[in-house]
């Protein structure tokens, strides 16, 4: 059993999840390729984000399970299902795209989802977003005169600014990936009462400082966030890809893109270890979620990760479109380390 209040991440099958009977589950995300029926709770009040992204393995379903080492309390605020401890909250929301409205449908859905997320965090007094996962259908498709990913960025930017939340600097780790056509927008997140350390990659321009060629409203996320809890460190690494500076590299070359992505993760690990005396995050200490644009590339990507992370690495592979059409793979990660003593 891990320490009370410390986060723990498991990737398990449905059968393993049911057999475990964990009493400290904070929240769950499922990935199974079926249309998302809507985020909500299971019979025990646990928030479940049902994401419509196919699993690239023999398992028909994968459960991403966040645990906290203590018995959490469940609740709901508007459309957000959540579970919380005194220091941490996991929440999820599913927002279908409406017909009609002032803005394009994805913008309307994103505006509403983020309004409800901000309202929930304010009402429950968890001011610090730590990590956010966003899944939107047809992320690269042109609609209403612009790419849908840019519509999402615009709506997220407007809501965060309107709610007095930062849009540069002190912003959460985050990912935005494609989901199955006709599925709803699904967002899940971790928030806390303690501010994390925000980590940027010296090899890259911060996403919120991208030039205007990537849209009038830049993506609002840090490359990583580092959370210190008594005796523990948790590192949340945003979706990393083959980007150096602000440009995509190695277009069409899956081997080179995978290696560049791992180099970016290693740069973030070095920054995190510098920011937290006593930390020793390594590639092999991480749990990774890998998004693969073209399923035929899976054997190559898997071979590269086995070489870098080892055969026993905790990795799941999902088929998903990535925010830039020239990117073939994206890797997000999380690491948890005990500390002998806080300085």
Catalytic residues: 330
Q: Write the CA distances from 190 to 7, 68, 271, 302, integer angstroms.
A: 10, 12, 22, 28
CA-CA distance, 51 to 153, in Å (whole number)? 19
The whole-angstrom separation of Cα 29 and Cα 50 is 6
| Edge-first strand listing for the sheet containing 232-240 | 197-199, 224-229, 232-240, 329-338, 287-292, 314-319
Pairing of strands 47-51, 40-41: antiparallel
Backbone angles phi, psi at 192, to 5 degrees: -145, 175
Helix or strand (DSSP H, E) at 122: helix 105-124
Neighbours of 177 (CB within 10 A): 23
Determine the Cα–Cα distance for residues 214 and 256; give it in Å rounded to an integer. 23
CA 209 – CA 213 distance, rounded (Å):
11
Coil, strand or helix at 212 = helix
Report the candidate in 65, 83, 69 with the shortest Cα–Cα distance to residue 18: 65
């Amino acid at each position: 059993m891990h320490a009370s209040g410390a986060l723990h991440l498991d990737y398990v099958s449905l059968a393993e999840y049911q057999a475990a009977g964990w009493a400290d589950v904070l929240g769950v995300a499922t990935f199974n390729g079926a249309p998302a029926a809507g985020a909500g709770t299971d019979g025990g009040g646990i928030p479940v984000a049902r994401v419509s992204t196919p699993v690239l393995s023999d398992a028909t379903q994968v459960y991403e399970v966040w645990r906290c080492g203590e018995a959490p309390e469940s609740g709901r605020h508007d459309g957000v299902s959540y579970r919380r401890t005194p220091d941490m909250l996991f929440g999820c929301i599913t927002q279908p795209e409406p017909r009609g409205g002032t803005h394009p449908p994805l913008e309307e859905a994103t505006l509403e989802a983020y309004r409800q997320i901000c309202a929930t965090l304010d009402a429950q007094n968890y001011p610090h977003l730590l990590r956010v996962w966003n899944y939107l259908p047809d992320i690269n498709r042109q609609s209403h005169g612009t790419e849908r990913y840019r519509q999402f960025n615009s709506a997220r930017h407007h809501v965060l600014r309107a709610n007095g939340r930062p849009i540069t600097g002190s912003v959460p780790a985050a990912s935005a990936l494609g989901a199955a056509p006709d599925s709803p927008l699904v967002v899940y997140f971790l928030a806390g009462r303690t501010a994390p350390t925000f980590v940027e990659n010296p090899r890259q321009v911060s996403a919120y400082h991208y030039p205007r060629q990537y849209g009038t409203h830049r993506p609002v996320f840090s490359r990583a966030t580092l959370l210190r809890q008594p005796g523990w460190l948790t590192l949340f690494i945003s979706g990393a890809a083959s980007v150096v500076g602000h440009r995509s590299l190695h277009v069409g070359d899956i081997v080179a893109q995978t290696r560049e992505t791992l180099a970016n993760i290693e740069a973030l690990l070095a920054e995190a270890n510098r920011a937290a005396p006593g930390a020793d995050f390594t590639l092999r200490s991480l749990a990774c979620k890998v998004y693969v644009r073209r399923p035929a590339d899976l054997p190559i990507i898997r071979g590269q990760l086995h070489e870098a992370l080892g055969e026993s690495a905790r990795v799941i592979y999902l088929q998903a479109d990535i925010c830039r059409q020239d990117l073939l793979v994206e890797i997000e990660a999380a690491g948890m380390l005990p500390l002998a003593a806080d300085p």
